[in-house]
Structure 1
Amino acid sequence: MAVKIISVAKQLPKYYKETKDIIPFVQLWMQGQEERFQRKVIKLFEGAGVDKRYSIMNPEEVFTVISFEEKNNIYKREVIQLAEKSLQKSLNKANIKPTDIDYIITVSCTGIMIPSVDAYLINSLGMKQNIVRLPVTEMGCAAGVSGVIYAKNFLKANPNKRAAVIAIEAPTATFQLNDYSMTNIVSAAIFGDGASSVILSSFDEDEGPTIVDEAMYHFYDATKMMGFNLVNTGLQMVLDKEVPQKISDHFPTIIHPFLEQNNLKIEDIDHLIFHPGGKKIVQTVEDLFGVLGKNIDDTKEVLRLYGNMSSATVLYVLERFMDRNLKKGERGIMLSFGPGFSAQRILLEW
C-alpha cells in the first residue's frame, strides 16, 4: 500500500519587508554600539541571501515589544489564523473536505500554546471528533520532514485514511531586543515567518508522489549546536557556527547509505528538496551536491524570497516541485536538519 503526498499549500503572514527596508530599523536598534560592530551587522544582513521576509509582527513591534507574554500572545493569535488558511488551501488543492482528514499533526517551535494549534483547527473547520492529534513542538527546522514521516507511518498502518501536517513558525517573535550577540543577529538576518500544510493519503485513487522510504539520523554529542534557551524575555536562539562543518562531515553517511538501502545512487535522484537553513548551510550543501552533479536552486530561491521559516521552509520547497507536474518515475529527496542535532530524509517517487 502506497502513501502519497497529494497537496502542499503555503500561507504567508500579513507583514513583509525587503531586507533593505529592515536595515534602518536595525540601525536604530544598534544606536550606541561601536561603529565597527554596526558596519559588520549591516553587512551581515545585506549578505544573508534573503531579499525579503514575512512576519506576524510589524517592524515597530519586533523592535519594541520586549515581554515574552506580549510576543507569545501575538504568536498564538496569528499562528492559528495562518494554520487555518494554509490547511484550507491544501484541502482545496486536493479537492477534499476537512472531515476527510483522519490524522492531524501541527508543527511549531517558535512559541508556546496549550491547547496546541490543532485543537483550534478542529473547531474552526468542523473536523472529525475522532480525529487523531499529534502536536510536534521541539524538533525545530527538522520538524516539517519529521511531521511527514509521522503521518506516513500512521497511514501505512491505516489504509484508506488521510493526514494533514501543518507547520506554522514565527521566528521573528523570538528576537531578543536586549541581546547584541551574533547568534541573535544572525537569526534575525536569516529567519522569517510562514506556514505550510501538507496532505498525505493512503487511498489508491489519490494522486501524488509516493513516499518510498524515510529515515532519521542523529548526530552524537551535538545537543548544544542548535535550539532555544527559554529566558525571561522568551525563546533565545542557539545556533553554533560549526553547524555547516558538522553537516559536511556527516554528509556521506546521511545520504549514501539511505540511497543504497533503496538500491539507488545519487545519480538516480532527479530533485533535491532541501531545507534552506541559512546562506552558509546552503553553500555547504550546494558544494556537496554540486560535486555530485546536482543543484539546489529551488532551495536558494525559497531562502531569497522568504528567509528560513524553520520547519515550514522545506515544505515551501516541496510545493514548488509539486506544482510542476513532474514526470512519472522521477525521484526526489527531502532533507532537513534540526536540533538534536539531527537529519531527516524522505525519498519520493512521482
Structure 2
Amino acid sequence: MCGNGGNPARALDTSRMSLLGSLTASPAASVVRQMRQAQRADGPASVLAIGTANPANCVRQEEYADYYFRVTHTEHLTKLKSKLNRICQRSAIKKRYFYHDEELLQNHPEFMDRTLPSLDARMDIAATAVPELAAAAARKALAEWGRPPAEITHLVVATYTGAHMPGVDLRLASLLGLDPSVRRTMLYMNGCSSGSAALRVAKDIAENNRDARVLIACAELALINFRAPDEAHMDTIIFQALFGDGAGAVIVGAEPNGSVERPVFEMVAASQSIIPKSKHAAVGRLTEHGLVFNPSFEMPALILKNIEQSMNDALGPLGLNGCWNDLFWAVHPGGRAILDSVEAGLQLESNKLAASRHVLSEYGNMSGSTVIFVLDEIRRHEQALPDMGVLLGLGPGLTVETMVLRDTLS
C-alpha cells in the first residue's frame, strides 16, 4: 500500500519533515545560516600571550617540615615530622610560594585547630587574595599581548579557593579595567585539571565568536587546605608536602592580527575523558574546616595503566597516536610520581617532561595554574620544538584533559 496507510503518526511525521524542509529552504533560514557563519572565526584559536605570578613568601622544601610544625605548634609530633621530611626529600621540589605567612597563621588559630570552624575566615581572605593574584598574572599576559584590556571580550576564571557571588571573575574584571560588557565564565572545583579545562573552554569561545579575545585566569591558594598535622589524617601531610600558590593567565584568540599579535601555540584540538574506575582516586569537598582533599595512593598506577589508551583515543583521529616522542609535552606536574607514570606509560624520552619537572621543582603543584607555568617554560626555554605537542591536564575524576598544540614560533 502506498502513502501513509492511514497511520496518523506517520502522517504527522511526514508533515513535520515537510515543514522542516520549508523552513530550511526559507529566506529566514538562509539569513540565520549566514549570521551563524559570520559569527564564527575562519581559523583555529591560538595562544596569544601567557603570564604567571606567585606570592612573595617563599619556603624552601628542605626547610618546610621545620617551618610547618613550628607554625602549627606541633613539634611534639616527631614521627609525623619525620614522615613529612621524607616526603619532602623525595618530592623533587626545591621551593614553593605561599600567600599565608607566620603572622597570618598566628592571627587565625582556627586554621590549625580542627575543632574550630574556619571556612568563613578562609573565604574572607580568598575574596581579596585570589583575584589580586590572578590579576598579577593577567597583567603580565596583557602586557605581552600589547592591546588594551578593554579589548578583552571574554573572561574565563578557574579556582577552588573560594566560592562567592559575585565571584572572582567580577573582582578580577574590575582590577584589570575590563569592559563592563565582558562575558564572564567561572569554573569552580575542577582541581588540577582546571587550567586545561579553561583553555578548552576558551578555544571553543574564540572559534565560535569572531574577533573574540578570551582571557583565562587560574589562581589557587594552599591556605584553603592548610591545617595542623593529625595522625588520623595522613592526607594532610601529603598536601602539605606538594602544594603551593600561584596564578596563570593566557590570552586566546583566532585569526591573530599580524600587526600587534604574535601567536605562540595554535590550539589544534581538545578533548576530555575519564580513566575507568578512578572516581575514588582524587576526591575533595568544602567543609567548615576548609577544603578537604584526599588523593589516593593508586593515582600513579591508574595513570600508568591508562594513559596510553587515553592518548590514543584523543590523538588517534589526528593520526598522531603512537609516535609520542615526536611531540613536545606540557604535562601537569601533579607530583613526581605522576610525571614518572606518564613518562613510563608513554615510554617518553627523559627530556620530554623536562619543563614539567622544572616547574614542579621551582613551584610545587599549584593545581590548575601549574600547566600554564609549564606552557610558559616550554615557549621561553625549550629550543627547536617539534611542530606538534600535547598539553595534558590530570584532575579529579580521574579526568584527562588533552589539547593538541602546534608550535608557531619555531
> Given the two structures, how large is their TM-score scaled by the length of structure 1?
0.93
Q: Answer yes or no: is the 8 Å Cα contact 1:56–1:75 preserved in 2.
A: no
2: CA distance, partners of 1:245 / 1:202: 38
Quick check: 1:12 aligned with 2:66?
Answer: no
Structure 2 counterparts to residues 11-30 of structure 1, below 5 A: 11-28=53-70, 29=72, 30=74
For residue 38 of structure 1, what is the aligned residue in structure 2? 81
1: CA distance, partners of 2:385 / 2:332: 24
SS of 1:296 mapped into structure 2 = helix
Quick check: 1:203 aligned with 2:262?
Answer: no
* % same residue: 22
2: CA distance, partners of 1:87 / 1:292: 33
Residue type of the partner of 2:94? Answer: D
Encode CA deviations 1:11-70: one digit per residue, 9 max, x unaligned: 11121111223221234344333x444322221122221111001101454574522222
TM-fit CA distance, 1:230:
2.2
Encode CA deviations 1:171-207: one digit per residue, 9 max, x unaligned: 2331222644221111110000000100001134342
SS of 2:67 mapped into structure 1 = helix
Q: Answer yes or no: is the 8 Å Cα contact 2:307–2:346 preserved in 1.
A: no
Structure 2 counterparts to residues 142-157 of structure 1, below 5 A: 142-157=193-208
Structure 2 counterparts to residues 71-220 of structure 1, below 5 A: 71-177=122-228, 179-180=230-231, 181-205=233-257, 206=261, 207-220=263-276
SS of 1:277 mapped into structure 2 = coil
For residue 92 of structure 2, what is the aligned residue in structure 1? 49
Question: Are residues 126 and 5 of structure 1, via their aligned partners in 2, closer, same or farther at CA, if it must alter by over 3 Å?
Answer: same
Residue type of the partner of 1:307? Answer: G
For residue 244 of structure 1, what is the aligned residue in structure 2? 300
The CA RMSD measured in Å over matched residues stands at 2.1
Quick check: 1:231 aligned with 2:291?
Answer: no
Q: Return the match for 2:366 from 288, 309, 325.
A: 309
**Unaligned stretches of 5+ in structure 2?**
1-42, 112-117
Quick check: 1:284 aligned with 2:284?
Answer: no
For residue 26 of structure 2, what is the aligned residue in structure 1? none
SS of 2:311 mapped into structure 1 = helix
> Given the two structures, how large is their TM-score scaled by the length of structure 2?
0.80
Structure whose CA Rg is larger: 2
2: CA distance, partners of 1:226 / 1:293: 27
Q: Return the match for 1:222 from 265, 271, 278.
A: 278
Quick check: 1:264 aligned with 2:320?
Answer: yes
TM-fit CA distance, 1:220:
3.9
For residue 274 of structure 1, what is the aligned residue in structure 2? 331
Question: Are residues 324 and 45 of structure 1, via their aligned partners in 2, closer, same or farther at CA, if it must alter by over 3 Å?
Answer: closer
SS of 2:210 mapped into structure 1 = coil
TM-fit CA distance, 1:117:
1.2
TM-fit CA distance, 1:346:
0.3
Moved more, 112-121 or 141-150: 112-121
Q: Answer yes or no: is the 8 Å Cα contact 2:343–2:349 preserved in 1.
A: no
Q: Answer yes or no: is the 8 Å Cα contact 1:217–1:344 preserved in 2.
A: yes
1: CA distance, partners of 2:326 / 2:184: 33
SS of 2:352 mapped into structure 1 = coil
Residue type of the partner of 1:184? Answer: T
Moved more, 112-121 or 233-242: 112-121
**Unaligned stretches of 5+ in structure 1?**
none
Q: Return the match for 2:401 from 320, 340, 344.
A: 344
SS of 1:145 mapped into structure 2 = helix
